Structure 1
Amino acid sequence: MQKRAFTLIELLVVIAIIAILAAILFPVFAQAREKARQTSCLSNQKQIGLGVMQYVQDYDETYPTAYYYKNNTATVNGGSAGGYVHMSVLINPYLKNAQVWVCPSDALRGVGPDNPACADWTNITQIGCEAQVPRLSYIPNSSIMPRKRGPQDAPNVVSMAAVDAPADVIAIGEMTDFSNCIFLGSTGQQNNERRNKSHRPVNAIMRTAGGGQWAGQSVADVTGPIFAITQAAAQGAEGWGGPADTRAITNTAGCRGSAADGGLHIRFMSPGRHSGGSNYMFADGHAKWHRFNDTINPNRFLWGRTYFPSGQPVLDQAGVQVR
């Protein structure tokens, strides 16, 4: 009897078919894994949202501030030498889980605090160390949770009643994993070298219709007109220096390509971490995925039609309040 065997050509054809199938399926598997990570990240933000809502109910329907300095007096900003208390610590009693603050798709696996952390990261009274969750992937919107450095700053507490449509206002986004975009200097503070300013909130506001950094902390910031960020500005030299839906660098002057202390604060967030978009937690506690460009549509501006701490209207390019 003759034995039948594969010829070399038949074997090569089978190998080629397997290779083609693998090339087709591997990207699908990668997308499936990222979708799972995106879902886990969204779940994190939903849990954080529930914690924020519990905090609001316990504190006279007032949202927490992004951070405040520990050693303030009644009239003087204490500065960073005494350390700060971050909103992650204020929400922690309702979560009791540090891992919920880390997004599995974050390339940095979260960033740490500016200066050395307290041995107990929840310690809000110990002077000289930071009270912040050890690793942080999420960042608050300063229109809901503004900077509270000290008593000399502008109005900085937001009540739930002040937010006209909580389901349509972003409260927390995803923090950038480009180090240049969050590593900043602190001249005049405890340190003057560049460090990761993970405690600072993000905003989608410009000083003029053409651009310009708006920090949202001084009285001057909240007395003049403010403008909604545009796609061109966010993706340009004052922003990321690349498109919102990819990690590409198209302008090396942006923070993805260069280290600089100036620029728009929108660069503190990651706009396209999950399949060209990002997860957001809203002021009513729910969480949802959006493409960044959809969040800055002036006809449905999701970063706050008003800067809620002061009541300033956010204007579009024509000088009309966003809708």
Structure 2
Amino acid sequence: MQPDEVSREKKHHPSLPLPIAPWSLEGRGKEKTAEESSFSSRTFLNFLSADNHNTTLRLHRQAAVASGTAPYAVSAPRWKQGCKTFKVAFTLIELLVVIAIIAILASMLLPALNQARSRGYTASCVSRLKQIGAADAFYTSDYGYFCPAAEKMAGSGLKAWNAVRATSPYLDYTREGYLTPYLMRGGLTQESMGSIASNVFFCPEPSLKPCWDGQDVTSASASGYGANPSIHGFALPTSMGPMTIAATMIKDSKVKKPSAIVSFGDAAGKDGGTSSWGTLSSFTLCWSIIAGNTHFRHASRANIAWADGHVSSEEAGLLRSCEIGRTYRIGSLGSTDSDLRLYDPEYSDGDEAPSHQ
């Protein structure tokens, strides 16, 4: 084998420096012509012994670039090198494995997404109760009394704290209740009052939507929020058959510990001026919040606006024993069915109200 042939068989890795390469580098670029192949290492050595060294180097570079053997020459595209391209497809088993992995990931993520969505509804509910509590504080500042729950116990056209009764027992929540003007001053618009979803007097919890089937914001039986009749009462003396309702409006100065007395909050069950622990025949919303119809609807907690204006999320102290009460988590903040410390400012037990902050 001749020296020229041995030199042609030598291969050079592209990552190694090679300032001058007079012999061919196989596999890099197109095939050399016969004229280009005649440029051998011996010929190159002869050039180096010549007087014009720069001319020799220039000729060598031109020949190397033309043959595609220079280290700085760019390789030809794969389709020019004769390489074939194959399309890779999933097999049925691989596809099933991918689908199974996606299903597992979805099952892991969905509970977290549901919890995040639930926290969003809870935060929206807290925000609405804060607005209601602030409006009641402005009303109290103007009149010296807590805002009345309603003008009177019954009758069409009566004014309530959050609406005006249209046809009993339905209320129009787009009309001006006692607290509506104060909320309007705070930036509430008539447009936002025009739907159940955006009306500040309605709880945003999606599980309540069946309660409003066939109803709208202008004719709804209740909004999901109740007022405590023990401090809000009625603006006018009222009676209901042989029973006289003693719930009258009271001054804020009569409440010794306003941070521990319920003012507004999540309510469901049965309306009444006093605690009622009777069996519930169906799940309904109500306009008052008392011991026995506090609704723990937000991840087993109830959002409460207290008499001093602050809002907190509270756990149940006691649930109703009936099936509906247990299923929908309706009960009381108190530890027993007679514990009214957090609802009645005139409760005479003498025990200090439990801490809830």
Q: Same fold (TM over 0.5)?
A: yes
Compare 102-111 and 92-101 and name the one that shifted more: 102-111
1:12-161 equivalences under 5 Å are 12-60=96-144, 62-69=145-152, 80-88=154-162, 89-96=177-184, 97=188, 98=193, 99-109=199-209, 136-147=223-234, 150=237, 153-154=245-246, 156-161=248-253
Paired amino acid for 1:175: A
Superposed CA deviations along residues 168-206 of structure 1, whole A, max 9, x for unmatched, are 221111132xxxx35xxxxxxxxxxxxxxxxx5676x4x
C-alpha displacement at 1:5, in angstroms? 3.4
Q: Give yes or no for the alignment of 1:171 onto 2:263.
A: yes
Q: CA RMSD in A?
A: 3.8
- How many angstroms does 1:146 deviate by? 2.6
Gaps spanning 5+ residues in structure 1: where?
A: 70-78, 122-131, 183-199, 206-212, 214-232, 239-252
Correspondence for 2:309 among 285, 288, 299? 285
Task: Flag the 1:305–1:32 CA change in 2: closer, same or farther, 3 A.
Answer: closer
For the residues of structure 1 that align with 2:117 and 2:123, how far apart are their CA atoms? 10
The answer (yes or no) to whether the contact 1:255–1:267 under 8 Å persists in 2 is: no
- The Cα shift of 1:153 comes to 3.8
Q: Are 2:295 and 2:302, in contact at CA under 8 Å, matched by a contact in 1?
A: yes
2: CA distance, partners of 1:306 / 1:277: 17
Bigger relative contact order, structure 1 or 2 (CA pairs below 8 A, ≥6 apart): 1
CA deviation map 1:221-267 (0-9, x unaligned) = xxxxxxxxxxxx6xxxx2xxxxxxxxxxxxxx53447x9xxxx9645
How far does the alpha carbon of each residue in 1:252-309 deviate from its partner, in whole angstroms, 9 at most, with x for none? x53447x9xxxx96454422x111112111111111111122863459x99645733x
Count residues with an aligned counterpart.
218
With over 3 angstroms needed to count, the CA separation of the structure-2 counterparts of 1:155 and 1:297, relative to structure 1, is closer
Residue 28 of structure 1, CA deviation: 1.7
CA deviation map 1:18-68 (0-9, x unaligned): 0011111122212211211111111000000110000010012x1022112
Q: Is residue 279–residue 289 contact of structure 1 (8 Å, CA) maintained in 2? A: yes
Match for 1:23: what amino acid? S
Superposed, 1:108-257 pairs within 5 Å as 108-109=208-209, 136-147=223-234, 150=237, 153-154=245-246, 156-176=248-268, 181-182=269-270, 205=275, 213=276, 238=278, 253-256=279-282
Tell me the distance in 1 between the aligned counterparts of 2:314 and 2:251: 25
**Under a length normalisation based on structure 2, what TM-score does the superposition of the two structures give?**
0.51
Question: For residues 267 and 150 of structure 1, do their structure 2 counterparts lie closer, same or farther at Cα, with a shift above 3 Å needed?
Answer: same
Task: Give the secondary structure class of the aligned counterpart of 1:145.
Answer: coil
Distance of 1:110 and 1:149 partners within structure 2: 33
Secondary structure of the residue aligned to 1:24 is helix
Instruction: Identify the residue that residue 13 of structure 2 maps to in structure 1.
Output: none
Higher mean C-alpha displacement, 10-19 vs 92-101: 92-101
Larger Rg: 2
Aligned-partner Cα distance in 1 for 2:179–2:249: 16
Separation in structure 1 between the aligned mates of residue 129 and residue 230 of structure 2, nearest angstrom: 18
Identity rate of aligned residues, in percent? 27
- Confirm whether residue 307 of structure 1 aligns to residue 312 of structure 2: no
2:149–2:232 Cα contact (<8 Å) kept: yes
Structure 2 residue runs of 5 or longer lacking an equivalent are: 1-83, 163-176, 194-198, 239-243, 319-331
How many Å separate the matches in 1 of 2:310 and 2:339?
13
Change in Cα spacing, 1:46 to 1:155, as seen in structure 2 (3 Å) is closer
The answer to whether residue 357 in structure 2 is matched with residue 270 in structure 1 is: no
Q: Does structure 1 retain, via aligned residues, the 8 Å contact 2:305–2:312? A: yes
Residues 72-95 of structure 1 deviation map (CA, whole Å, 9 limit, x = unaligned): xxxxxxx73454221121111101
Indicate how the Cα distance of structure 1 residues 254 and 108 shifts in structure 2: closer, same or farther if over 3 A, else same.
same
Which SS does the other structure have where 1:139 is aligned?
A: strand
